[in-house]
């Protein structure tokens, strides 16, 4: 088997997982796939700021602002003034947001279970070891713990900015 065939399958698995997650979330109104991890962060870090989110996920301020506006409009989060600095705002999940987050956690769990259906515990451990070795092969001291977005921006000299 050629390595390009394995690489294709690896990418295809990622695409299929995303599709299954999207299908599992289709009944949840007004949430986009890319907002799921942001919402999870907001739920687990109440009173975080948009800057906190941008830093955590290495996103541009504009991208975070657009997602936050959508989530505010859809009643998934709320923005309150920071009592320590009234020029700053804190983000909190609403009850609806917490329900959405619980729903997608269940969807992710079901997709993970489907992904590894008919795998023994030993096979899952082996697979995890293979993924760790692949990551070690691809990571360098420079790239370790950086997001793909950070690496792309740095590699093109910051010209992209998106």
96-123 pLDDT, tens digit each: 999 999 988 899 999 999 999 999 999 9
Q: Is pTM, for the whole model, over 0.85?
A: no
Smallest Cα–Cα separation from 148: which of 46, 4, 14, 43?
14
Q: Going from the N-terminus, what domains does the chain have, and what CATH number goes with each?
A: 3-117 (1.10.10.10), 121-162 (no CATH)
* pLDDT, position 138: 86
pLDDT for position 152: 72
- The pLDDT confidence band at residue 45, using thresholds 50, 70 and 90, is very high
Distance CA 43, CA 76 (A): 10
Per-residue pLDDT tens for 116-155?
Answer: 999 999 999 999 999 999 988 888 877 777 766 677 777 7
**pLDDT value of residue 160:** 46
């Amino acid at each position: 088997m050629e390595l390009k065939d394995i690489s294709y399958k690896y990418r295809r698995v990622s695409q299929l997982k995303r599709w299954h997650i999207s299908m599992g979330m289709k009944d949840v109104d007004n949430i986009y796939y890319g907002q799921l991890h942001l919402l999870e962060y907001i739920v687990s870090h109440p009173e975080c700021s948009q800057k906190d989110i941008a830093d955590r996920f290495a996103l541009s301020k504009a991208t975070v602002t657009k997602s936050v506006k959508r989530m505010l409009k859809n009643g998934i989060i709320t923005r309150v003034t920071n009592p320590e600095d009234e020029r700053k705002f804190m983000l909190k999940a609403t009850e609806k947001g917490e329900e959405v987050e619980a729903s997608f956690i269940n969807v992710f769990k079901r997709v993970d279970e489907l992904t590894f259906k008919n795998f023994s515990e030993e096979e899952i451990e082996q697979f995890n070891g293979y993924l760790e070795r692949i990551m070690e092969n691809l990571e360098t001291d420079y790239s370790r713990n950086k997001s793909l977005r950070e690496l792309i921006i740095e590699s093109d000299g910051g010209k992209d900015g998106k």
